[in-house]
Amino acid sequence: MLIPASTTHAAPGEADASSPAAAESERRVSGRRGRARDRLLDRGSHPTAVPAGTLSRVRDIENMLLFIDDDLRETALAMTRIEDYLTRTLQTLESPEIRREHVHALASETRVLDHLDLLSETLESLRRRLAKLSTTMK
């Protein structure tokens, strides 16, 4: 939790709590990453706690959440790979020395289509699992 700037008294050489460096330090201490994609990918390396309330009463919720987390991660990875292709395309088109071979390589790349297929599959799986979860909630 950040302390309001009016109540902080930083020692010499320390960052004031209202400074960007202090805010970044505070975020790191909290363990919460800011970007949604980072949080999605982190869910695979950290145990996911079942939130108290309605979900805690769902039968086999731990397994269901593991599958949902897997779908979220796979979807995020597919999106990242598609974004990488788009970024490479943009860099090629913005290059002052754009070459036919580079454009042709991008146009011929079929991996991006595989990533689009994977994205579609994982999104559909995610939607099915969420529908299943919603029907088990009371």
What is the phi-psi region of residue 127: left when phi exceeds 0, alpha when psi lies from -120 to 50, beta otherwise? alpha
Helix (H) or strand (E) holding 135: helix 111-136
C-alpha closest to that of 79 among 48, 109, 36:
36
Question: 28 and 48 share a domain?
Answer: no
Q: pLDDT 10s digit of each residue in the chain, 138 long?
A: 333 333 344 444 444 445 555 554 444 445 555 666 666 666 656 656 655 565 656 667 778 888 999 999 999 999 999 999 999 999 999 999 999 999 999 999 999 999 999 999 999 999 999 999 888 876
Chain-centroid distance of CA 135 in Å reads: 26
* Residues of the domain holding 5: 1-32
3-class SS of residue 45: coil
Question: 18 and 52 share a domain?
Answer: no
What is the phi-psi region of residue 60: left when phi exceeds 0, alpha when psi lies from -120 to 50, beta otherwise? left
CA distances from 65 to 36, 56, 121 (A): 17, 11, 18
Query: What total number of domains does the chain contain?
Result: 2
Cβ distance 67 to 43 under 8 Å? no
Question: 74 and 103 share a domain?
Answer: yes
Question: 28 and 40 share a domain?
Answer: no
Tell me, yes or no, if the pTM score tops 0.75: no
Rounded to an integer, what distance in angstroms lies between the CA atom of residue 90 and that of residue 117?
22
Question: 40 and 65 share a domain?
Answer: yes
Question: 6 and 62 share a domain?
Answer: no
The angle that helices 100-108 and 61-94 make with each other, rounded to 10 degrees, is 160
CA distances from 74 to 3, 51, 61, 62, 68 (A): 38, 23, 20, 18, 10
